[in-house]
Structure 1
């Protein structure tokens, strides 16, 4: 391919990884891709050569460990028919040399001196004259070299030879010979490290990190990735500061008058709200009201459900006057069932971002943070992930609702993780005991973007969803769960003979 027609970067064709590398690999240099067996090195290498073919570049795969058939089988599992896409130079077992029908390029590396093995690689490169080269793997060369000095000299020789030919080279190292050997790190223009983590429960988690890239800015830190049909997909670490947009911060209502009054007229667009409460308090239902209100305004909303089976959610919501099936069929509500055991945090953030970017979603519900936390290795990572995700959504003008199930029911309750400082607004749902019944109370603890009521109101959940009563001005200790009544009016919600909400009697507690 003419040099003038090429960009100065060789894209790997791996979704997300080219973004991490800010366009790909600088051409004409040698790079190291290292990781334990099974981390996806071969898949990325194949994608690198397939992408080159799409761009009219010649590729060569030099394999010292896998056979031609194994490489083609790996490619086929992802839906790629290699054919003549790129050349494969294979070093095969000695019994193949006894077959006169075998090509003369078949060699057995352990029967050759290192210098002879290197010459055969050079010969293959001279024949193919490739723009992109994959060398798989360095463990074989390291074993042949037998000493660190000789190994370094051979890698240096390969580097200078490939540099003179102008090829972009990706060397693979499976770390089976010596995981602590950093010889190639100092010689390579860039180093990408692949890791695989095995959680106590759930699918394996994979992540990568660019540990070196000379003369080039890149996205540092760990980035989650997954091996799927079609190749490796990388989910770059979300950096909210890179995504700023301008939008109207007008208040958004829930279409429940009393709730909107509590919130001082509603929640501003581009803000986040944390809904806290014990199990069964109605956190999910509260967020559904905001999602339905968004659709009724002509906007789009998305629900990411961790804890509840969708069939049950649809049935339960419909019994309370919210038809999720109808809202979904309208094309304005997107519902995603999330399995925390199968999805990495980075992939979830990518899923949310893709929904907001491609569908212009303006209301996002994450139900619940408890399920999201299950995907996190530790609490500190959870807070960092949530900080970047909420900041990103806020800067896109999307309103975010996150539910957290607190431990305990009546009285003292605790949250599994404290992220109240991250949210712009905090809505607190509580159980309390009064007049011989278990009741529910709602209050707004925090709202950064404007004033709000500081009252505590009782609410009931019925066939129309939320019904919120007057402020409980004559009660003390509602948030503790066992209040005392000091007034003479009847502020509590009750159910009349017709099933409608109305005042209920309560005795004065001295």
Structure 2
């Protein structure tokens, strides 16, 4: 391709994840709208945009009609940033030292400033600096000065043509504090990015963004979660599993327990997902620990995300069963973290899982449990969609995923908070049942997409060394209902075996 016909390099925003959503950044020489209510992070994104330009050797101009130079620099400092000489802040409101009696007739506050005078000062500031990147904060002040929709539109068009003629990339900020439903600017600008803040009934606020318009370029549509922390805004692009395909050699992941592997037809295939379903106390987490420990013993890496249990308690409980999670973690083979669903958005959680798989090489992933994960979702439909994309992504990366779901109830009819059995490749069902005056546990595999598996029901026990399995139960009827009946002489049960 002729160099003269190549499209100009995009103006990267420097905001982690946002350039991915924008398919590379902002088209240079155009005007973009960044809108959102106060507190959604517009100023932080705009400062990062100018700092990124300065790092590329481009001058930047921040024109402010609302915040002062001191406030902007203080906001930048809170993220560990220092505005370089290449970034200049221009206050359209005159500094306090100039507001004396001799200057009262020519220097006014923004609420009294004539629109033409404001525009003239903007153009003068630009011509003095000749910046490549410009931020105008905010349009609410321009809208108030214009006083009518027609005059406001003409003013935005004038700004657009002026900056376009000079090749500047402009970011307009709008805090939506006046005439929030006015779409005048939307039809004029080259692209629109909207920031939103949601306030759940419990927990921290949730923030998300959406690109609603970008002329001449494809972009990642839909809503994307983002956070504001020290260091700036971090966007978590919505996961699209179809974009991530890798090749890998499939093999079976085994548990190291012969009876359990036999029940699973030899193990669980790499690059598939297994759902462990059962009421509280049946040992769902222990099943995942068994597979995870076997994978690490075989030289692999694992990542475990715990929603429901405090890590200290989990470490102690696992140690009593023969799983030294601290040693696995300290060796670097295991990444384990406790997830607070009230503080973590679904997009950020997906990002953390991807980091462990993409960059740390974890090929065994445990999510314990989906009940806790559901608490981070706005509704059940969103949970199913998130889980679907996450499982599809992990499968295509060759990772084996184990998920647990705690069902409501103990015996008899069980209810799940959300049905994701159709998403998992393998479903392991755990149950309590009563026999001979004892409460016992039974396990069965009710689904496996890849390969055959036993259709039997096996009793198991959680002993001092972990899981202990018995022979298939073939003399009982109704084990999965919780109250079985004899159908002949009972076979040996686990309490008749030698203690472990």
Tell me if both proteins adopt one fold, taking TM over 0.5 as the criterion: yes
8 Å CA contact 1:22, 1:217 repeated in 2: yes
5+ residue gaps, structure 2, are none
The RMSD of aligned alpha carbons is 1.8
Contact 2:427 2:447 survives alignment (8 Å): yes
In the alignment, is residue 22 of structure 1 matched against residue 23 of structure 2?
yes
Label 1:101 to 1:199 Cα distance change in 2 as closer, same or farther (>3 A).
farther
**Distance in 2, Cα, partners of 1:138 & 1:23:** 26
Q: 2:336 and 2:67 mapped to 1: Cα distance?
A: 43
The answer to whether 1:183 aligns with 2:184 is yes
Distance in 1, Cα, partners of 2:107 & 2:329: 58
TM-score, normalized by length of structure 1? 0.95
Aligned match of 1:499: 499
2:227 equivalent to 1:226: yes
Cα pair 2:196 2:208 within 8 Å, conserved: yes
Is this contact kept in 1: 2:255–2:294, CA < 8 A? yes
> In 1, Cα distance between the equivalents of 2:376 and 2:347?
10
CA contact (8 A) 1:94 1:107 kept: no
Structure 1 segments (4+ residues) deviating >6 Å = 3-6
Q: CA deviation at 1:8?
A: 2.0
Match of 1:158 in 2: 159
Partner of 1:54: 55
Q: Structure 1 unaligned runs (5+)?
A: 501-510
1:506 counterpart residue number: none
- Deviation for aligned residue 1:85: 4.0
Return the offset for 1:487: 2.3
The DSSP-based 3-state class of the residue aligned with 1:478 is: coil
C-alpha distance in 1 between matches for 2:108 and 2:449? 70
Counterpart of 1:505 in structure 2 is none
Aligned counterparts of 2:323 and 2:152: Cα–Cα separation in 1 = 68
Task: Mark the CA change 1:35 to 1:394 in structure 2 (over 3 Å): closer, same or farther.
Answer: same
SS in structure 2 at match of 1:87: strand
CA gap 1:42/1:279 in 2 versus in 1, 3 angstroms? same
Q: What is the CA–CA distance in structure 2 between the aligned matches of 1:142 and 1:349, rounded to whole Å? A: 40
Cα pair 2:99 2:107 within 8 Å, conserved: no
Change (3 A) 1:98 1:269: same
Shift of 1:97: 2.2
Matching of residues 288-437 of structure 1 within 5 Å: 288-437=289-438
Q: Provide TM-score, normalisation by structure 2.
A: 0.96
How far residue 83 of structure 1 moved from its aligned partner, in angstroms, is 4.1
Q: Deviations over 1:183-239 (max 9, x none)?
A: 000000000000000000000000000000000000000000000111000000000
Alpha-carbon distance, 1:323 to partner? 0.6
Partners of 2:96 and 2:233 lie apart in 1 by 35
Displacement of 1:152: 0.1
Aligned in 2, Cα 1:101/1:450: closer, same or farther, shift over 3 Å? farther
Q: CA deviation at 1:429?
A: 0.3
> How far apart are residue 143 of structure 1 and its match?
0.2
> Do the aligned residues in 2 keep the contact of 1:90 with 1:106 (CA within 8 Å)?
no
Partners of 2:399 and 2:370 in 1: how far apart? 18
In the TM superposition, 1:100-179 aligns within 5 A as 108-179=109-180
* Cα separation, 1, equivalents of 2:35 and 2:337: 34
Residue 366 of structure 1 aligns to a residue whose secondary structure is strand
* Superimposed CA distance per residue, residues 369-407 of structure 1 (whole angstroms, 9 cap, x where no aligned partner): 000000000000000000000000000000000000000
Q: Is the 8 A contact 1:189 1:214 kept in 2?
A: yes
2:478 — aligned with what?
477
Taking structure 1 as reference, are residues 261 and 379 closer, same or farther at Cα in structure 2, changes over 3 Å only? same
Q: How far apart, in 2, do the equivalents of 1:85 and 1:206 lie?
A: 31
In the comparison of the two structures, how many residue pairs are matched?
A: 495
Displacement, 1:94?
Answer: 7.4
Name the SS of the counterpart of 1:429 in structure 2.
strand
SS at match of 1:444: strand
- Whether the aligned pair in 2 keeps the contact of 1:94 and 1:108 (CA below 8 Å) is no
CA distance in structure 2 between the aligned counterparts of 1:107 and 1:324, rounded to whole angstroms:
66
C-alpha contact 1:274 1:426 (8 A) present in aligned 2: yes
Question: Distance in 1 between the 2:262 and 2:326 partners?
Answer: 29
Task: Give the corresponding residue for 1:504.
Answer: none
1:458/1:493 contact within 8 Å kept: yes
1:15–1:107 CA distance, 2 compared to 1 (3 A): farther
Q: Is the 8 A contact 2:54 2:87 kept in 1?
A: yes
